[in-house]
Chain A
Amino acid sequence: MISDQLPALVIVIPMLAAPLCVLVRKPIVCWAIALVANFLVVLSAWALFEKVREDGVIRYALGGWAAPTGIEYYVDMMNATMLLLVSFISCVTLVYAYKSVSKTVLTSKHYLFYAAWMLCLTGLLGISITGDAFNVFVFLEISSLSMYMLIAFGTDRRALTASFRYLIMGSIGASFILIGIGFLYAATGALNMVDLAQRIPDAESQRAVLVAFSFLTIGLMIKSAVFPLHGWLANAYQHSPIAVTAFLAGTATKVSLYVLLRFFFSIFGPDYSFGAMLLNVVLLPAAVAGFVLLSLVAIFQSDLRRMLAYSSVAQIGYIIAAFCLASQSGLTAGIVHIINHGIIKTALFMSVGCILYKVGHTHSHSLDNLMQKMPLTVTAFILSGLGLIGVPLTVGFVSKFSLISAAMERGWWMVGALVLLSSLFAIVYIGRVVEIMLFRKSRTETPAPVGRSEAPLMMLVPMYVLIGISIWFGVSGSTTLSVAADAAAALLGGYQ
């Protein structure tokens, strides 16, 4: 039965698509291959999601080798949600990418671009699905290496340094994770996550476990760009091709956050991570400082991509703060925000990409009166911007509301208050740009006659698909909340 092989298919399809692209080389065919592969992955992920939702956890022994020896894929509600989110965002962004990539990337390199994209997707999905700690590292490397490559495709030469910096930081993060996994292996003799979770409490050397935990924490913080280890992110987002930025913003950091969740909650257990380990002393202040300070930084950015990049770091702060609550409602809030932020930030970067495509730059000061020229793009920016701020009836509000009520439930008034404060900052940085696009008079003496000049449909449609979804999720907040609650329950319940 093919449906039994779904977990493997999710990984194998994009992995095969990558070399196929390299063999074919013709840009449009490569794109088509990647798109078809990605579409199949979305379908498989959707099927998996439905299956897990109905029948519960799926455990799949890769290659028929049973768990302790072989690699096991472990799919519960949390992974299934991540698989669906990542594959879907990738698929939508891939549709969007064609036009913007043909404009900015050398035609002779297109096949490499799509191949790297497919590899990156493979890596991200692999991280999400695998139930083996070492396998996480392997897929992490696959996704990271292809990501460095994707970023380096940026038009600007600064893309190279951005990619290089990310490479250094990413490698440090990955090595930390590897060291952590190594220590865990030394302490318990297991790599399978389910086994790890069982053996850690009885491990002989708790000190080794502790060291493993510390390395993993830092490594994952780097990969998910938690303040103050977010330094690589702003340049990478600003200088990479915009389609890549949209893809990364919606998926890469989110997957790292997922790994963080998996390790902290499933493997070490919330009591260990947030009880004995005093993680709250390090992680929570970092998260809170992150969302307050970087929202403030975002206000002063004149480049839209950089502004959104800093805003991403701030949003990651929200998610981490929600995790730190270590309660059912806190995790629900965090996971819901992973989904919601993935969607709206991708949509926002897409709208910025449309601007870049037509206007040629993203300096907010020179975007005066853009509404006349690109009404659909600007509307998209406003709609998703409102979501980012967290205006009622948008997805952002669902996240904000659940995060604040979770914080209050725990009695963390300060955190709730600071979330509200930083959402005020978000109003300023989004509102500032919106005002310029809608109302600001042209600065040039004789403004050029303003004609409609919208981005191509192939960029607009994917963007509006995401916005449509975000509106749907915003209006009926319960759709995503119930999925997130199931995922949170799966995490807190530990491995069966």
Chain B
Amino acid sequence: MNLLAPPFLYMYAAVLCTLLSSKHRAILLLVVPVLGLLSLLSYSTGNHVVLAMLGFELTFVRIDKLALVFSIIFSIAAFLSGIYAWHVRDKIQQVATLVYAGAAIGGVLAGDLITLFLYWEATAVASVFLIWARRTDASYATGMRYLIIQVLSGVLLLAGLLLHYNDTGSIAFEHLGLVSLGTWLIFIGFGIKCAFPLLHNWLQDSYPAATVTGTVILSAFTTKMAVYALARGYAGTEILIYIGAVMTLFPIFFAEIENDLRRVLAYSLNNQLGFMVVGVGIGTELALNGTAAHAFCHILYKSLLFMSVGAVLYRTGTSKASELGGLYKTMPVTMVCCLIGAASISAFPLFSGFISKSLILDASAKNGYYIVWFALVVASAGVLSHSGIKIPYFTFFAHDSGKRPAEAPIHMRIAMIITAFLCVFIGVFPGVLYALLPYQVEYKPYTTSHVLAQMQLLCFALLAFVFLMRKGLHPPEVRGVNLDSDWIYRKLAPGLLPSIVTAVGSSVTSAQDSIKSTAVTLTRRLSGFARPGGVLSISWGVNSMVLMVTVMMLLVLVFNFI
């Protein structure tokens, strides 16, 4: 049984994948998650697959309810993205997907910090290939930045775990808390992957840069693995509540002014993570249930949204709001699925987001974090406007772009329909998901007050949107401008929220730009010695080498005789 642990299955499959023909590879991508799930469910609660490595006993499979719910949804996500990526013939992407999904599941099942680190690094290395696979210069640069940041997170984790091990003599991955330098380093390592504010840029940078299918896959694993790690190690750490609250709020501004829809989704992903982080920070049973449930639902509806926008990108070659519109005529299935995803992320009653988000909102209100609760409510309204309305509206409705793409390929439609079905199913029968959660819950999402409050929020937000759209829209100008038309969109955007949005957004952007340019010149100057022609990079003549010997000899003598 040891050899058939879920993460190992994925790794075998990755090796096998390199030998198969493209059709068989696509099938393999579907079969492995199913086998992995079966293998997963065959384990009983407790530690399994304990192997001696590097002088430690490493626990590769630790089953408890928290690990189970995350690894189940990861398996489902791997399966769905397998269907969605049926058309992909690129062996590198398929191998990377398998390794990446396997590593994410492995990370969730890891029973100690070293195993966690092994998989933590593996997700970083495997996932970068999904970005590079787009094969553009920009995706190369993005991928490299992404890789460095991801590995930096791993490096912090490694440093932290060694410190922690030095302090306590234990590598067990249990509750850690912010008690020492080591646990702080681990915390920051987790925080990078979880895209904490100011550590978040890699997310918006990289996800929109990946391939159509790559983004769907990327969106599911890395950040949720970090949420899991936080829930395991830092539940009830108060600072997380405020970090989470900030995370829910600030991406809204950026999402509002952003034109690339995949980037909008990346910002909204960040915002959704905020909800989960708040749940971890509160740390009560209800709140942790909320985090797990929200991660579960979120993976589904976020994948769905990325799938639908991806399908549009696949068919039209663009995901810019200003270049899209009116696609409902030819892509009705994609449109309906996108709407279901939008309704789920906006937490409409009867959709999955509603039954998970209310757990976290309730937990924050019950524990007296009213300001946080309010922030989350505001953020919910923001979600509605940038993900719930903006994504479907500008893609499928709005002004007619004149594009008449074909409907998404059949396998993409199947993937989207299944995902959409799951979103609705969970929304209608929340008990199924609640049964999976780490703690026993007796929670009723569909009370009158919940539904009413949520509907009020949603209706007013919708109303505001409609009102502002009518006032702010100038149809003749919008239509037909297909050159670098970001400014039109930026002119539209202030209609959605007061012009503060633009001001905040642009000032932050310009500040970032200036910091970036200074940093670039500085590094260029500093690394001058290492570049070709620099002092360290040229071949040294004999005389300079001998001079160096003399200098070193002098140093050694001086220090030895002191």
Which residues of A are interface residues toward B (Cβ below 8 A)?
165, 168-169, 172, 210, 213-215, 217-218, 221-222, 228-229, 231-232, 234-235, 277-278, 281-282, 286, 293-294, 296-297, 299-302, 371, 386, 391-393, 398, 401, 404-405, 408-409, 416-417, 420, 423-424, 427-428, 431-432, 435, 438-441, 475-478, 481
Q: Which residue from B155, B530, B541 sits with its C-beta under 8 Å from A420?
A: B155
B536 and A293 form a contact (CB under 8 A): yes
Q: Within residues 528 to 548 of chain B, which ones have a CB less than 8 A from any CB in chain A? A: 529-532, 534, 536-537, 539-542, 544-546, 548
CA–CA, A210 and B562, complex, Å: 12
B559 and A300 form a contact (CB under 8 A): no
Residue of A nearest to B526 (CB): A296
Can you show 9 pairs from A to B with CB atoms below 8 A apart? A218-B553, A278-B559, A278-B562, A391-B121, A393-B118, A428-B148, A431-B144, A439-B133, A440-B135
CA–CA, A300 and B533, complex, Å: 10
A297 and B530 form a contact (CB under 8 A): yes
Q: Within residues 17 to 57 of chain B, which ones have a CB less than 8 A from any CB in chain A? A: 52-55
Question: B residues within 8 A CB of A435?
Answer: 132, 140, 143-144
Residue pairs across A and B with CB atoms within 8 Å: the count is: 142
CA–CA, A267 and B192, complex, Å: 48
A300 and B537 form a contact (CB under 8 A): yes
CA–CA, A432 and B141, complex, Å: 9
Question: A residues within 8 A CB of B536?
Answer: 293-294, 297
CA–CA, A432 and B143, complex, Å: 10
B556 and A282 form a contact (CB under 8 A): yes
Question: A residues within 8 A CB of B540?
Answer: 231
Cβ of B557 within 8 Å of any chain A Cβ, yes or no, is: yes
B542 and A169 form a contact (CB under 8 A): yes
Question: A residues within 8 A CB of B118?
Answer: 392-393
Contact flag A478-B144 (CB < 8 Å), given A296-B527, A300-B537: no
B53 and A477 form a contact (CB under 8 A): yes
Residue of B nearest to A478 (CB): B55
Contact flag A477-B54 (CB < 8 Å), given A213-B560, A297-B537, A439-B135: yes
Cβ of B84 within 8 Å of any chain A Cβ, yes or no, is: no
Apart from A228-B548, A401-B158, A476-B53, 11 more pairs, CB < 8 Å:
A278-B559, A278-B562, A300-B534, A371-B92, A386-B125, A392-B117, A405-B165, A408-B162, A427-B151, A477-B53, A478-B55
Q: Which residue from B54, B158, B542, B555 sits with its C-beta under 8 Å from A168?
A: B542
Q: B483 → chain A, closest Cβ, in Å?
A: 26
B54 and A432 form a contact (CB under 8 A): no
CA–CA, A424 and B155, complex, Å: 9
CA–CA, A443 and B560, complex, Å: 56
Question: B residues within 8 A CB of A481?
Answer: 54-55
A408 and B135 form a contact (CB under 8 A): no
B54 and A221 form a contact (CB under 8 A): no
Cβ of B466 within 8 Å of any chain A Cβ, yes or no, is: no
A439 and B140 form a contact (CB under 8 A): yes
Question: A residues within 8 A CB of B158?
Answer: 401, 404, 420
B530 and A438 form a contact (CB under 8 A): no
Contact flag A222-B549 (CB < 8 Å), given A294-B536, A302-B532, A424-B151: yes
Cβ of B122 within 8 Å of any chain A Cβ, yes or no, is: yes
Question: A residues within 8 A CB of B165?
Answer: 405
Q: Within residues 147 to 164 of chain B, which ones have a CB less than 8 A from any CB in chain A? A: 147-148, 151-152, 155, 158-159, 162-163
Question: B residues within 8 A CB of A296?
Answer: 527, 530
A172 and B546 form a contact (CB under 8 A): yes
CA–CA, A234 and B548, complex, Å: 16
A214 and B553 form a contact (CB under 8 A): yes
Most buried by B among A235, A282, A301, A478: A282
Question: B residues within 8 A CB of A235?
Answer: 539
Chain B contact residue count (CB 8 A cutoff): 55
Question: A residues within 8 A CB of B548?
Answer: 228-229, 231
Cβ of B128 within 8 Å of any chain A Cβ, yes or no, is: yes
A300 and B531 form a contact (CB under 8 A): yes
Question: B residues within 8 A CB of A428?
Answer: 144, 148
Q: Which residue from B121, B147, B542 sits with its C-beta under 8 Å from A392?
A: B121
CA–CA, A285 and B99, complex, Å: 39
Question: A residues within 8 A CB of B117?
Answer: 392
Residue of A nearest to B150 (CB): A427
CA–CA, A267 and B26, complex, Å: 62
| Chain B 499-542: CB-based contact to A (< 8 A → 1; otherwise 0) | 00000000000000000000000000001011110101101111
Residue of B nearest to A232 (CB): B545
B549 and A172 form a contact (CB under 8 A): yes
Contact flag A432-B144 (CB < 8 Å), given A296-B530, A404-B159: yes
B552 and A478 form a contact (CB under 8 A): no
Q: Within residues 126 to 147 of chain B, which ones have a CB less than 8 A from any CB in chain A? A: 128-129, 132-133, 135, 140, 143-144, 147
Q: A280 → chain B, closest Cβ, in Å?
A: 9
B151 and A214 form a contact (CB under 8 A): no
A228 and B55 form a contact (CB under 8 A): no
Q: B49 → chain A, closest Cβ, in Å?
A: 14
Q: Which residue from A281, A293, A432 sits with its C-beta under 8 Å from B559?
A: A281
Residue of A nearest to B134 (CB): A439
CA–CA, A475 and B527, complex, Å: 36
B545 and A231 form a contact (CB under 8 A): yes
B530 and A300 form a contact (CB under 8 A): yes
CA–CA, A357 and B469, complex, Å: 65
CA–CA, A477 and B51, complex, Å: 12
Which 6 pairs across A and B sit closest by C-beta, in order of nearness? A231-B540, A392-B118, A231-B545, A420-B155, A297-B530, A296-B530
Cβ of B2 within 8 Å of any chain A Cβ, yes or no, is: no
CA–CA, A297 and B535, complex, Å: 10
Residue of A nearest to B119 (CB): A392
CA–CA, A408 and B122, complex, Å: 24
A431 and B147 form a contact (CB under 8 A): yes
Q: B463 → chain A, closest Cβ, in Å?
A: 48
Contact flag A231-B55 (CB < 8 Å), given A404-B158, A408-B162: no
Question: A residues within 8 A CB of B552?
Answer: 218, 221, 228-229, 282, 286
Most buried by B among A213, A217, A386: A217
CA–CA, A381 and B472, complex, Å: 57
CA–CA, A430 and B161, complex, Å: 26
Q: Which residue from A172, A217, A416 sits with its C-beta under 8 Å from B556?
A: A217
Q: Which residue from A228, A371, A392, A404 sits with its C-beta under 8 Å from B122?
A: A392
Residue of B nearest to A168 (CB): B542
CA–CA, A480 and B36, complex, Å: 33
B549 and A427 form a contact (CB under 8 A): no
Question: A residues within 8 A CB of B553?
Answer: 214-215, 218
CA–CA, A392 and B144, complex, Å: 19
CA–CA, A284 and B539, complex, Å: 24
Contact flag A231-B530 (CB < 8 Å), given A392-B121, A428-B144, A481-B55: no
Cβ of B166 within 8 Å of any chain A Cβ, yes or no, is: yes
Question: B residues within 8 A CB of A417?
Answer: 159
A169 and B132 form a contact (CB under 8 A): no
Q: B528 → chain A, closest Cβ, in Å?
A: 10
Question: B residues within 8 A CB of A475?
Answer: 53
A301 and B560 form a contact (CB under 8 A): no
A427 and B147 form a contact (CB under 8 A): yes
A416 and B159 form a contact (CB under 8 A): yes
B144 and A214 form a contact (CB under 8 A): no
B560 and A210 form a contact (CB under 8 A): yes
Q: B560 → chain A, closest Cβ, in Å?
A: 6
A218 and B54 form a contact (CB under 8 A): no
CA–CA, A286 and B52, complex, Å: 36
Question: B residues within 8 A CB of A281?
Answer: 559
CA–CA, A439 and B136, complex, Å: 8
A169 and B556 form a contact (CB under 8 A): no
B560 and A278 form a contact (CB under 8 A): yes
Contact flag A408-B166 (CB < 8 Å), given A172-B549, A386-B125: yes
Q: Which residue from B55, B144, B162, B534 sits with its C-beta under 8 Å from A404?
A: B162
B557 and A300 form a contact (CB under 8 A): no
Question: B residues within 8 A CB of A478?
Answer: 52-55
Question: B residues within 8 A CB of A218?
Answer: 549, 552-553, 556
Residue of B nearest to A375 (CB): B18
